[in-house]
Amino acid sequence: MADLGNPKNTIEVLKKYQFNFAKKFGQNFLIDTHVLEKIIRAAEITKEDYVLEIGPGIGTMTQYLCEAAKGVVAVEIDSNLIPILQDTLSPYENVTVLHQDILKVDINRLVDEMCEGKPIKVVANLPYYITTPIIMGLFESHVPIESITVMVQKEVAVRMQVGPGTKDYGALSLAVQYYAEPYIVANVPPNCFMPRPNVGSAVIKLTRHEKPPVIVQDEKLMFSLIRASFNQRRKTLINGLSNSPEISFTKEQITQAVEELGLGMTVRGEALTLEQFARLSDWFTQLTAK
């Protein structure tokens, strides 16, 4: 089978099927064998592993995954790509292509049915416009995942990795770091894709924590507090939380919480660590339990 990491072979497949890139799906196909090899190496895929690939495109990375893994499930939303995938992946018996929207797939069920219930490794070249909902959906549904190795917009990768007090620090940083250890594997310039995106990309690996780095009594409440405090970045933490429709506590209660945690009245959400958000959340949990 022709290696689709080679641009010439990709062009041939696209011509053969008269494929047109769909803007609405944010399609940018990877055409660089070095980057593909880097992703497979970073994901540490072995013959024991089951891999979930999101958005396989014409099957470029899928071919590499099939060579390395025990089994691959590739979920593709674009019906025009399904016949192409049936062709490009025809030499492989260890792959299942599902024509579905990943945001609507019951991944827990998928893992049970197709992956012997083992923790899976997720590998993807993600459409940039839905990167966050996909990654958060995977974590929040508590799917048994060992790691997620994905190509994302470079600034999103940076956001996942940074700590308090930096301009890129936000709800995504905290959510990712609560569930996983982020590590940027490689920066990838636009010329490694077809068509070329307008922004730089990066491969980031998120290795799932066995236990979250902080213990919190109500995970959902903690993330509501995090979202509310970053929704209005210029406001103080107290004002951000009191103005949020998501938060039901009074301004007095919020002020008291901030005071008792020794955070200072003018502190902003972006100054708080994950641990401080967990303590804030626990304070409110105790309050409602009284």
Q: Report pLDDT digits (tens) over 37-66.
A: 999 999 999 999 999 999 999 999 999 999
Count of domains in the chain?
Answer: 2
Q: Which residues contact 158 (CB under 8 A, 6 or more apart)?
A: 168, 184, 202
92 and 174 assigned to the same domain? yes
Both 187 and 235 in a single domain? no
Return the HEC string of 205-271. EEEECCCCCCCCCCHHHHHHHHHHHHHCCCCCHHHHHHHCCCCCCCHHHHHHHHHHCCCCCCCCHHH
Residue 189 lies in a domain: yes
Q: How far apart are CA 22 and CA 80, in angstroms?
A: 10
Residue 154 lies in a domain: yes
The answer on 264 and 186 residing in a single domain is no
Global pTM reads: 0.92
Last-in-domain residue among 184, 208, 232: 208
Model pLDDT for residues 168-215, shown as the tens digit of each residue: 999 999 999 999 999 999 999 999 998 888 899 999 999 999 999 999
- Of the residues 208, 235, 256, which one is the last residue of a structural domain? 208
Asked if residue 223 and residue 202 are part of one domain, the reply reads: no
| Residue 176: per-residue pLDDT | 96
- Report pLDDT for 1: 61
* 24 lies in the same domain as 143: yes
Whether 213 maps to a domain, the answer reads no
Cα–Cα distance measured from residue 55 to residue 78, given in angstroms and rounded to the nearest whole number: 9
91 and 139 belong to one structural domain: yes
**2 part of a folded domain:** no
What mean pLDDT, rounded, does the chain reach? 92
Regions of the chain short of the pLDDT cut 70: 1, 23
> Which range marks the domain in which residue 78 is found?
7-208
**Residues 101 and 171 placed together within one structural domain of the fold:** yes
Residues 173 and 249 in one domain: no
- What pLDDT score does 70 carry? 96
As a residue count, the chain comes to 290
What CATH number did the domain enclosing 109 receive?
3.40.50.150
Q: Are residues 180 and 242 in the same domain?
A: no
Mark whether 13 and 133 lie in a shared domain: yes
Long-range contacts of 127-131 (CB under 8 A, 24+ apart): 127/25, 127/26, 127/27, 127/55, 128/26, 128/152, 128/153, 128/156, 128/197, 128/199, 129/26, 130/26, 130/103, 131/156
Domain end call among 158, 179, 208: 208
Task: Assess whether 68 and 188 both reside in one domain.
Answer: yes
Q: How far apart are CA 120 and CA 208, in angstroms?
A: 11
Are both 89 and 176 inside the same structural domain? yes
